[in-house]
Structure formats: C-alpha cells, structure tokens
Chain A
Amino acid sequence: MKPMLRTLFALIVLLPAIAWANNYPLVLDPMVTATPPGAKVSAGYMTLTNESDKAITITGAYSPDVAKVEIHLSLVENDVAKMQKQDSLTIEPNASLTFEHGSYHIMLMDLEDPLKENTTIDIVLITSSGDMLIEMPIKKLGHGNHGANGEKMSSDMKHEDMNEADTSMKSMTDDKTDTESMPKPAKVVH
C-alpha cells in the first residue's frame, strides 16, 4: 500500500464505515486466509450489506499486491468440490451477500509471497457504484470462522485468531462483552 493511502486510512479508521456507505455496500468481517508455505492461492471472506434502495452489482476485483484476483463460488456437488468464476454478483436493496467457506470468496491467485497473519492486504471491489478499496486483515483459519452453512461465529470461537485482529475494533465500541456477535466494520476507501 502506498504511504499516502496509509495516511488516509489513519485519518478515517476511527470513524464508522457507515458514514461512507451511501450507495456502497457496508463491509463487515473482512478476512483473507493466511497461506501455508508454498500455497499460490488464498481466499477472502466478508459480508456486504446493501443499505440503499438500489441494487448493487459487483463485477470483479483487483489488488495492488496480487497478480490475479477473481470472484469465485466454491460448491460441493455430488460430493465433488468445484470452483466457478463469477462474472457478476448482485446485492439487492436492503439485502446482504456473504462471502464464506463453501460459498463465494475473493480468489487471490499467483501469490508470490506467503500471506502472513496479522498483516493486511488491499482488495479493490469493482461495483456498480464505483471501485471500493477494502483493507482486509489476514488471519489464520479458526474453527467455525466463516464456516459453511452460515455457521460462522460458532462455539469454537475461542481461538486466538479473533483476539489481535479485533483490537482496533474494540476501541470503536464500548461493548467489549459482545464482540463475538458484533459485526465489525471494515476499513474502506471509495
């Protein structure tokens, strides 16, 4: 990420992302999976909520840090795991779209270096409202984290991966007892 962008983030990070929402989807719980040694791919997950009264279409993604980024759907059909590139996804008005295990993900390909946990990666979503840059925290997989069948935030959520990544968010809310069910606003630039 460019130094100027970093400064920009520093200025806006303490303000709720919703202030920028307008016709952009609200980004919650963004994460990219840290990669095992040798892995050339990773996946990004999050929930996008369209709070406007107009449908928002996502037609692609890119990143200054990754050679190739696509939107994929992974599915298991007749016990066979498959991946399908998605050309366009629509979020209806007042609806959400979740990128999660066993469903949609931001597919990062041709990685040159491993993605290390507790760092971040910039992903730009191309939407009908314009491009939006999302700073996505890189996390190790935890059990139940963004699980299939909407089972994210399960009882297994005691693992360390939630802790550090949440630190910045805790300063934004006084409700420390309810961090597990609290959606976490993302750092977003439009």
Chain B
Amino acid sequence: MAIIATVALGAGIYVSSQLNIENTGGRYNEQDAINANAQQEQFDSQAFQSLQAQLQNTTLFPDSFKQVPAFSLLQGENEPLTESILKDKWSVLFFGFTNCPDVCPITLNEMNGVVDQLGSENATVPQVLFITVDPVRDPVEKMAEYVAYFNDSFIGGSGDLNEITALTTKLGIVASYTANEDGSNDYTVDHTASMLLIDPQLRVRAKLNAPHKVDTLVADLKTIMTYYN
C-alpha cells in the first residue's frame, strides 16, 4: 500500500513539475487544455461558478488558464506595442479589421459607450485595444486614426502578419481570409467576434461574447473586475 502511495505521489510531483515547465516557459500548445483542467480542479469551483452565474454574456476562464504571450507589434505613429502595455491594468482585447463594415465598428462603438459609462460611475475602466488581423490593408497609422474616431483612448495595433498570427493563434483567436467571388482581387476576413478580458497580470480572465451591448458589457466587466481587484 505504502509503495503504491509513494509511486502515485512521485508521479504527481513529476506531472506537476512538467506542467510548471509549460507555464513558466510561456509556450502554448495542446498542453493548454490539460493545464486548464489541472488548474480548474485547484480552483475554488464554487466561487467560480457563482461568479459565472452572475455574468450575462461572458465566459470566465479559470485562474491560470492562459496568459498573454510576449508579442512585438506597432501602435500610434510606429511606436512599439508589446505585452508590457497590459501590465498593471485591465484590458479588453479585440481583433478585427477596418474593411469590416458591421461587427467591428459596432463593437468599437459599444466599447466607447462602455468606457464612458464606467468612467461616469467612477468604476475601473479597462483600456481597449483593437488589433488588426489584416495588417496588409491596415498599417499602424490607419489603425491609430481608425480607433481614435471611436474613442481617443483606444489603442490600435498593427504590425507584421506573422507576429499577429502568432499572437492570435496562441490566444485562440480565429482569422480566416476568403477571396471575394467576383474575382476582384479583393478579400474579406472572418474573425472571432468575442473580445478577451485581460487582467493586470496578463491573465486571460474571460471571453466577452457577441453580440456586444453596452449595458451587458458594463455589468459583466464591473462584476469581474470588482471580484478580482
């Protein structure tokens, strides 16, 4: 009996050390799902469930589900935009493109309402980042102008397509490119409609689901940020 227990303990330590290596290495792959499961067990599932139950259109992630990886993009007038911008504040991360006529402008418009309302209530206001998944047509200067139209404080991100793809892949954001049928040398981009809520330690805390509405977003963001602050 004692031998079995020792072996089991040893195996447990081995597995957990492997998981730690995955975590500190900042690499994300299939291990993610296993990681998330392991962490979820440790998580106080009752508190988690009760917090989730208070949310209207948001999906919570367990504590150590995923962290935003290092990235190197551009913002403003060709200034660097890296993961360090996310430190010590809450952020809402949205991926889209400026040739998007419906979902993107509407989402940014709703986020403007969210930021206004949270500000007027003296609540914590997350910073809003809109990163293009179509950097060929959306150079950084264009992104800066585009987001400022919705709110001066919004941050527009662009950069190298490979760098953006690496980031979206690691975050589980979908971007797929479809040529228009009319042979016009034009294309559209299907992309994830939800936004990610990132906490001040760069942890991906929640997925804000579409359709995005000011009232729902304000309520859910306040609930989550108040709970974790």
Enumerate chain A interface residues (CB-CB to B < 8 A): 33, 36-43, 68, 72, 74, 76, 79-83, 85, 101-102, 105, 107-109, 141, 143, 147-149, 151, 156
A39 close to B211 (CB less than 8 A): no
**B13 interfacial by beta-carbon distance below 8 Å:** no
A73's closest neighbor in chain B, by CB?
B102
Structural contact, A80 and B192, CB atoms closer than 8 A: yes
Kindly list chain B residues whose C-beta atoms are within 8 Å of the C-beta of A105. 101-102
Q: Is A80 within 8 A of B191, CB to CB?
A: yes
1/0 per residue B175-210: CB within 8 Å of A?
A: 010001100101010111110000000000000011
A41 near B100 with CB under 8 A, answer yes
Give the total of B residues in contact with A, Cβ under 8 Å. Answer: 37
The reply to whether the CB of B109 lies closer than 8 angstroms to some CB of chain A is yes
Inter-subunit contact B146/A39 (CB<8 Å): yes
What are 24 A-B pairs with beta-carbon distances under 8 A? Answer: A36-B105, A36-B149, A38-B98, A38-B145, A39-B105, A40-B98, A74-B102, A76-B193, A76-B210, A76-B211, A79-B174, A79-B194, A79-B210, A80-B190, A80-B191, A80-B192, A82-B190, A85-B180, A85-B181, A105-B101, A141-B106, A143-B214, A156-B113, A156-B214
Task: Check B170 for interface membership: any CB of A closer than 8 A.
Answer: no
Task: Tell whether, in the assembled complex, residue A76 and residue B101 are in contact, meaning their CB atoms are under 8 Å apart.
Answer: no
> Is B142 part of the contact surface with A, judged by Cβ < 8 Å?
yes
What is the chain B residue whose CB lies nearest that of A41? Answer: B101
Taking the closest CB of chain A, its distance from the CB of B56, in whole angstroms, is 14
Mark B149-190 against chain A: 1 for CB-CB distance below 8 A, else 0.
Answer: 110000000000000000000000010100011001010101
Is the Cβ of A107 less than 8 Å from the Cβ of B103? no
Would you call B191 and A81 a contact (CB within 8 A)? yes
The 3 A-B residue pairs with the shortest CB-CB distance, nearest first, are A36-B149, A43-B101, A81-B193
